[in-house]
Amino acid sequence: MLLRLSRRAWMGILLAVPVVSILALSLFLGFGLRDLRALGRYLVHRKAPAATGWQAPEPEGDLVDFAVTGESRILALREGGLWEVDGGALRPLEASQGLLHLFPDGDGGRIWVAGTYHRVMVWEAPEGLHYVLSVRGEVRGVQRRGDRLAVGFEEAGLGSGQVQLFHRRMGASFEPEGLEIAVGMDRWSGFDLSPDGLRLVANLPGGNGVGVWSAEDGRLLASWPAERLARVLCFIDNERVLFDAGPALKIRDAAYAHPGNRLLVARVGVSGEITVIAGNFAAVLSAARWPSLSRMAFSDMEGLVRVVELGSEPRLAMIFAPKERGIPWQVRPGGNGLWVLLKGEKARVERFGLD
Q: What is the pLDDT of residues 142-152, one digit of tens each?
A: 999 999 999 99
pLDDT bucket at 138, cuts 50 / 70 / 90: very high
At residue 67, what is the residue type? A
Long-range contacts of 333-342 (CB under 8 A, 24+ apart): 333/68, 333/288, 333/289, 333/290, 333/291, 333/295, 333/297, 334/68, 334/72, 335/72, 337/50, 338/297, 338/305, 338/307, 339/53, 339/66, 339/68, 339/74, 340/299, 340/305, 341/63, 341/65, 341/66
Determine contact, residues 66/341, Cβ cutoff 8 Å.
yes
Residue 245: alpha-carbon gap to chain centroid = 14
pLDDT bucket at 240, cuts 50 / 70 / 90: very high
Question: Which strand ranges, in their side-by-side order, compose the sheet holding 119-124?
Answer: 99-104, 111-115, 119-124, 128-134
**Three-state secondary-structure class, residue 208:** coil
Q: What does the pLDDT look like over 287-309, one tens digit per residue? A: 999 988 899 999 999 999 999 99
Structural domains in the chain, sorted by start:
231-355 (2.120.10.30)
Mean pLDDT of 73-96: 91
- Tell whether the model's pLDDT for residue 4 goes beyond 90: no
- Tell whether the model's pLDDT for residue 13 goes beyond 60: no
Smallest CA-to-CA distance from 224 within 238, 247, 249, 207 is with 207
- Tell whether the model's pLDDT for residue 170 goes beyond 90: no
Bridge partners (DSSP) listed for residue 20: none
pTM for this one?
Answer: 0.89
Q: In the Cβ-directed half-sphere of 53, how many Cα atoms lie within 13 Å?
A: 24
Q: What does the pLDDT look like over 49-62, one tens digit per residue? A: 999 999 998 777 78
- Tell whether the model's pLDDT for residue 7 goes beyond 80: no
Bridge partners (DSSP) listed for residue 225: 209
What is the structure's pLDDT at 26? 47
